[in-house]
Structure 1
């Protein structure tokens, strides 16, 4: 198990089983129903019986206590649910909650500038995972349905659960699974006294070289003999993230005339489209607030109110220097190029290449507000009634500005290093701003809003027989997602020297010694450019980009019935489980612009029936077998549902969305064998198989487009066009297995050894997939995007007295990132492993000193075109160090 890169990508990654728990603490937590388990935060103890010492009990705390509770929950679960739980609020050591989620079996993450952003469950991309906070669906400022987890500060959450199997009572939408993030509530605390907790950390990144604050606090109080409770928490952090990139960008297949005789005698060779160096910087301010009120006037009734708010402001700046190589440049080189045995044009001297200093500034803001109210009334000893109302509102505002300066002339590149290209002008200095005169200013402003209102009710009738309970309920959901984009370009001729400054860093790719690395190049002062009326007209406003403007409304009605059974008292083989069905009707309305004419609105409706069954058999007192089968769905990506699109200029080609798309559906087959071979110890094996139908793929067909689409002034109205649209087409599958092992060593070797204060958690996931995708008129059989065949997590922890430490290593195999097809190869993200460390020392039982180190091995990320010698991007983001203290009173 190691990450293997070519040349300088061979870093110290040969670490097989050294791994993680951070300052979170419980893996593999589960529950008996679809509702999240609420942790008791102030009592971090668990009591377990000591097998072999009659009547003796051991009280364990810290990580062991959290893990012991998790195993107890898993043994009583109706489905397959994994999770993590902080043993105290503000105890997660990671940059955001997605970094913590990657420790869970079957969960992998995608990263941006070193921070986890999206998660995938069992190999399916992030759009197939439904994300909730306190049971309420999280809306998103992304263009699709996926949720970016870098919006959430890890300090805000006390418990996260991933529902991998499906039950009728669960809200639909998560074909891969459902992630529920739980914020704290006042009744979680068992003490009647006020609770106050504070945390402060300083964060340092050894690439950005900046020190940033992370602050959080919580206060909670119960009143009136514990019948009323209020809680509020706040988290604020700043982050300075940086990423240094060496890129080839894309590799394109071509034929070349190597000797200049007009005949392209060299066939099917590849070249890097844009060899370049890129410096990316982000400064982020993240504010998170949660609040809760609870009312329990009697044991039979409880009312809860929750609010969660996130506000993230970012300034992104990206600077690059490149050479943009098009077919006309490479097909007639100045001299015969060097082509290696793999068909790569390793080096070439080319005519009339455009060299660019491209500078991008993107301020953006994400906001998220969730409101939730739920109540439970035990109307009788055997009758419970639940109700829930929720609202989620997300928005993202992005104002991107690009300033691109161009210089044209002869150009040389050399990709012998395979990672760090040599790029330079021939007869011109591409690092001299005086050689750049053409300027393009482009503004791309995008506003996305996503709102959802839901109401649901549930009834549970407890029978106390073999048929232990009957459940029924319904849910109504009303959602709308709008995207509005403005896009405009201003072209001018000016002298770059009047606006250029040096790259604002003096340690670009520090630690790398390749001779081709450009450490400094001319970039822009954004304030100077934006205030220059010579380059940008005063008061300029970009026009609306209608083909990227759309809206989708969705209303859903769902009802379910679920029967639960328990055969402990009527069978020699104890069985328990549930069987049910959920029926969902979706009404959808999509609005978009078919080119630059007036908008059109298209409506559609569909109904899905989603049966499910789960059974758990206790084969022995410490051996359990779980089986599950269910049908699940995920609705299509929002951008695919627009009736709008674009028509190419000059040729009869067009591309549109499809508002009549049906959802992805899957039959899910799950099996899990769990052996609780000792106290606090578990060895488990889970098998899964997802057969996905209705997989969305883009196909082309001949269609006649009229003036209603093209506009009355387009002379092509009534002509036949080659039109591509997304359609429900081919099927796909994801299948594999998960192995998990966890135990404190004291449960294996006794409590008297030095090693009895150590423990470990380890898991391995294998997932295989296959899908057929139509791309540019050809069928491509490939893996699913974002699916790694293998992923591994391991934790080694030590706890004794006031001191504890944990080492965690998370590794995932390479995965498909983008299907290109045609004359280009598919793009992959290379295998990546990350080692993290957490150290804590309790000065008193109320004050804890903390130190966290993330990405200790300083791993870089590699993106390539199918084979690692076709390097699309190598990125270095550095290590993160956090030093601080936490106190609770």
Structure 2
């Protein structure tokens, strides 16, 4: 016996929230709907309306899902879709630069979560597969559905789940013309004089229908200028210094950036006849994230006699201070465009076919310059060590300076020199002749390439293209309990490349130094007093690059890890899939669901470089022609297949009460940066590492200057067997409770492989010897040297490095498991008392126990994530306060030489609030289309912190709150 669910909010969702459905879902809904059935359409707006629509989507879906929904295009309340997603049960947001950008689903970072736009796979503009969700302004979206379990027709999958973003379908939406304007203000003033803390957003969106509602057009245009001012405290790590835990070096900056983003989304939907539905959509996003990172970076030396206290709590004096004032201009520019067409043809009342074709392209240049200034060029005579000092207070929250001596030049541009104060030019050894001089340093030696680095221009270019095609058929059948069939084939072709470039910069004054040119200076000083550094000179860090003040040398042929991070990856995937929906009565209970499978064939390849320094001190340039040697280029390919079954069962225990069970096998393809064919042999020029004795025991204790790394283009996807069980009780139009248990058996995860090898006889490279006299050796200088093992070396001692070092790589085979529980409740408080009409709360708690078999954490996984939203709505007035709390988690960040590295973030509690008034019922005719809102994010001023094993802060970023005043006007 067939029965039909008649939950009113579900019908409401179909009527006024139909934009929640992706393009390929249209034909399915058409086949199952009854054109003669009366559908109750109720205009529900605001917070409560969005909760009702989202709840309806959750209830009607055969998978376990979460959803967000706007009543119309341009009505989502946040600055980007990321902020809205981060508040959903089982999801957690990750801030990048003060804005929520990444999203974890059930503990899996966005790299392991599939992301689609209207059912099509979506690309990003970053290093990997993960999508930067803050790239997508809320004004172009109508909602999103997050699939925590999968079915065979869901082609964009991930171990964590799938996030499907949705734009409007004009023939299923109300006609509207909406103008939005937003004024934004950061809670932190800018510490850099050339920036402020004010921004704005503008958006125009409309939906129109023509030709007796057979042709629909939707257009959304959004422009954003959003400031971000950040205070960054960082160290090079801590060590025991006379009984106190003190930093090896300092890295403190005032950061100001401005995000500029222009977005155009256009959709045309045409139904030329009863059997055809044609949708063409275009999305184009241009963005720029530019600014400056300005502050100090320097080694730290303690005056032992001044020390008071021990462990993490002490006071004392830093001596021999020779700070590098780094002015790092940053410019990140990108563009993403996607074009698609969806054709649906209804063969008859029971069968339809659909073809969906799309192409997406993205490009990005991530550029960061470095310009150094200080007391003098390194090697020049300085005041005695004790005359260049700072008093400090050390605590678990880091080191703060309370006074200084002999460092006043940093506020006086006439005294500050545009030159590198530290001897960081070791990477230019192959250019020794270019920097050879007869000018003597203070130690009696001549200036050379070691003294010649005054800056660095660092950038990476990313390109990505994804072409997809999908053909499928839908049919209503009567095959026993099988009611619907969906069978199809899909193809995708992905290309992604990274070109990692850089240039060493040397000022024209070398080997001397000169003051910063007056034309480079900004009016006003930069404020670093919050870290105890006072006011410092502010100048344009791009200026010496733009006017030719710096001589540039290509680092790509000088730094092996840069060439070894340049690559191309190609991936072709063909998928056959079939899904069968069923309905039946079982022991008096109504049971629905689906069963199906995908067969996935993959061909993948990568071309890259193995960066090795040659006898001429250059990387892969033995003939000195400036081109990469053919012997350094390599291409690797592989192919494989997967069978991915899935099962979803839903049992209606009572009216609007369900038990859902799901079982599936899912994959997340390996990270792009891990699949590269590239690699490199790296040598750290630090003389303290070169002085490590040549024994396996000493290398194990103190490390080695040698390291080798290589990617793996043959990596298989991450793979998991998934089991989910949930109970859901929908007791009100805007009220439900649910409890979900989930288990993921991780049968394959990428492992970090490590192996100790002899760098004078590399067994992984045909016995290659990487040691080069004159490049990998050192002679102890006039001050002598104390090695890491305590050995004293007199001036003139010749040192060679140890032979042993570490070879790092990626391999398959790691296993693990994820066990979790989610509790969600959405309760209108009018259930408790009539006087609470309009009040409500929505909350969730996700508890996860997860670990890989080698004891490492899963990137993006917090042990707990809590969220709570309280709201009130009446007569057009709304107020919402939302708090999200997540525990610490592992993530990735951009590290040195533009490479990706791991980092652990401390837990964070973020509180947002919004107050708004809709004038629709105000009685003032000319204001009836107006809605005004005031929104604040990060109201508790939460910092982003990373701590080491001793509980000491190694990195802290302070962003402050931000506020937005929004005006939204509907002309009709």
TM-score (norm 2): 0.77
Deviates more, 1:825-834 or 1:552-561: 825-834
Aligned to 1:776: none
CA drift of 1:451 comes to 0.3
* Structure 2 SS opposite 1:421: strand
1:88 partner SS: coil
Distance (whole Å) between structure 1 residues aligned to residue 674 and residue 409 of structure 2 = 41
Map of 1:168 onto structure 2:
152
Q: Rate the CA distance shift 1:85–1:815 in 2: closer, same or farther, 3 A.
A: same
1:357-756 to 2 correspondences below 5 Å: 357-406=325-374, 409=385, 411-412=389-390, 414-419=392-397, 421-423=399-401, 428-429=407-408, 431=410, 434=415, 438-439=419-420, 440-464=454-478, 465-491=480-506, 492=510, 493-496=512-515, 498=517, 501=521, 517-531=532-546, 533=548, 535-537=549-551, 543=556, 545-568=562-585, 571-595=587-611, 596=620, 597-598=629-630, 599-649=633-683, 653-701=707-755, 702=757, 703-704=762-763, 706=765, 722-749=806-833, 753-756=834-837
Partner of 1:762: 843
RMSD of aligned alpha carbons = 3.5
Do the aligned partners of 1:826 and 1:865 also contact (CA within 8 Å) in 2? no
> Of 195, 201, 210, which residue of structure 1 is paired with 2:182?
201
Deviation at 1:108?
0.8
Distance 1:443 1:690 in 2: 44
Distance 1:721 1:276, change over 3 A: closer
1:144 alignment partner, SS class? coil
Post-superposition offset of 1:877: 2.6
Relative to 1, partners in 2 of residues 1:108 and 1:547: Cα closer, same or farther, differing over 3 Å? same
Equivalent positions of 1:209-224 (< 5 A) are 210-224=197-211
Deviation at 1:522, TM superposition (A): 2.8
Task: Provide the C-alpha distance between the structure 1 equivalents of 2:823 and 2:965, rounded to a whole number of angstroms.
Answer: 32
Q: Which moved more, 1:422-431 or 1:670-679?
A: 422-431
Distance (whole Å) between structure 2 residues aligned to residue 742 and residue 562 of structure 1? 32
8 Å contact kept, 2:216–2:270: yes
- State how far apart, in whole Å, the 2-side matches of 1:870 and 1:540 are: 36
User: Is the contact made by 1:704 and 1:721 (CA closer than 8 Å) also made in structure 2?
Assistant: no
SS at match of 1:486: strand
Change in Cα spacing, 1:756 to 1:356, as seen in structure 2 (3 Å) is: same
State the structure with bigger RCO (CA 8 A, min sep 6), 1 or 2: 1
**Residue 352 of structure 1, CA deviation:** 4.5
Aligned to 2:294: 319
The Cα of 1:678 is off from its aligned counterpart by 3.1
CA distance in 2, matches of 1:32, 1:874: 39
Partner secondary structure for residue 524 of structure 1: coil
The 1:659/1:712 distance shift into structure 2, 3 A limit, reads farther
Question: Deviation string for 1:781-832 (max 9, x for gaps)?
Answer: 2432322222222222222223222222222222234799xxx997432323
Give the aligned partner of residue 238 of structure 2.
252
Partners of 1:508 and 1:519 within 8 A in 2 = yes
* Number of residue pairs matched by the alignment: 805
Q: Deviations over 1:82-108 (max 9, x none)?
A: 111112322222221101111100111
Given the superposition, is the C-alpha separation of residues 452 and 857 from structure 1 closer, same or farther in structure 2, using an over 3 Å criterion? Answer: same
Give unpaired runs (5+ residues) of structure 1.
1-23, 41-48, 50-55, 259-265, 774-780
CA distance 1:504–1:304, change in 2 (3 Å): farther
Return closer, same or farther for 1:712/1:29 CA change in 2, 3 Å cut-off. farther
Which residue pairs with 1:120 in the alignment? 104
Distance 1:589 1:276, change over 3 A: closer
Aligned twin of 2:867: 793
Q: Rg: which structure is higher?
A: 2
Relative to its length, the structure with more strand (as a share) is 1
Q: Name the SS for the 2:362 alignment partner.
A: strand
The separation in 1 between residues aligned to 2:606 and 2:152, in whole angstroms, is: 28
| 2:255 is aligned with 1:280 | yes
Residue 305 (structure 2) pairs with residue 335 (structure 1): yes
In the TM superposition, what is the alpha-carbon distance from 1:546 to its structure 2 partner?
Answer: 2.0
Segments of 5+ residues of structure 2 without an aligned counterpart are 1-12, 30-37, 190-195, 379-384, 421-453, 612-619, 621-628, 684-689, 691-704, 777-802, 896-900
Partner of 1:77: 61
Q: Helix, strand or coil: the match of 1:155? A: helix
CA, structure 1 residues 133+73, in 2 after alignment: closer, same or farther (shift >3 Å)?
A: closer
The answer as to whether partners of 1:136 and 1:370 remain within 8 angstroms in 2 is no
Report the CA distance shift for 1:416/1:542 in structure 2 as closer, same or farther (over 3 A). closer
Paired with 2:121 and 2:331, the residues of 1 have a C-alpha distance of 27
- Once the two structures are superposed, residues 732-754 of structure 1 have per-residue CA deviations (whole angstroms, 9 ceiling, x without a partner) of 222211111113233443xxx33
Cα distance in structure 1, aligned partners of 2:320 and 2:818: 48
- Alignment of 1:811 onto 2:826: no
Distance 1:140 1:485 in 2: 18
More helix by share: 2
CA distance in 1, matches of 2:644, 2:525: 55
Return the offset for 1:557: 0.7
- The aligned residue for residue 141 of structure 2 is 157
- How far 1:347 moved relative to its partner? 4.3
Say whether 1:306 aligns with 2:306.
no
How far apart are the structure 2 equivalents of 1:706 and 1:712? 14
Deviation string, structure 1 residues 25-49 (Cα, Å, up to 9, x no partner) = x9x99999995689x9xxxxxxxx9
Residue 129 of structure 2 contacts residue 672 of structure 2 at CA under 8 Å; is this kept in 1?
Answer: yes
SS across alignment from 1:127 = helix
Are the equivalent residues in 2 in contact too, given 1:600–1:643 (CA < 8 A)? Answer: yes
Classify 1:346/1:126 alpha carbon distance in 2 versus 1 (closer, same or farther; 3 Å): farther
Deviation at 1:721, TM superposition (A): 7.1
| Alignment correspondent of 1:291 | 266
- Contact 1:36–1:161 (8 Å) recurs in 2: no
1:369 shift after superposition: 0.5
1:235-254 per-residue CA deviation (whole Å, 9 max, x = no partner) reads 01111211122x24343345
Contact 1:346 1:416 in 2 (8 A): yes
TM-score (ref. length: structure 1): 0.83
Deviation at 1:180, TM superposition (A): 1.1
Q: 1:126 to 1:866 in 2, by over 3 A?
A: farther
CA distance in structure 2 between the partners assigned to 1:617 and 1:274 by the alignment = 61
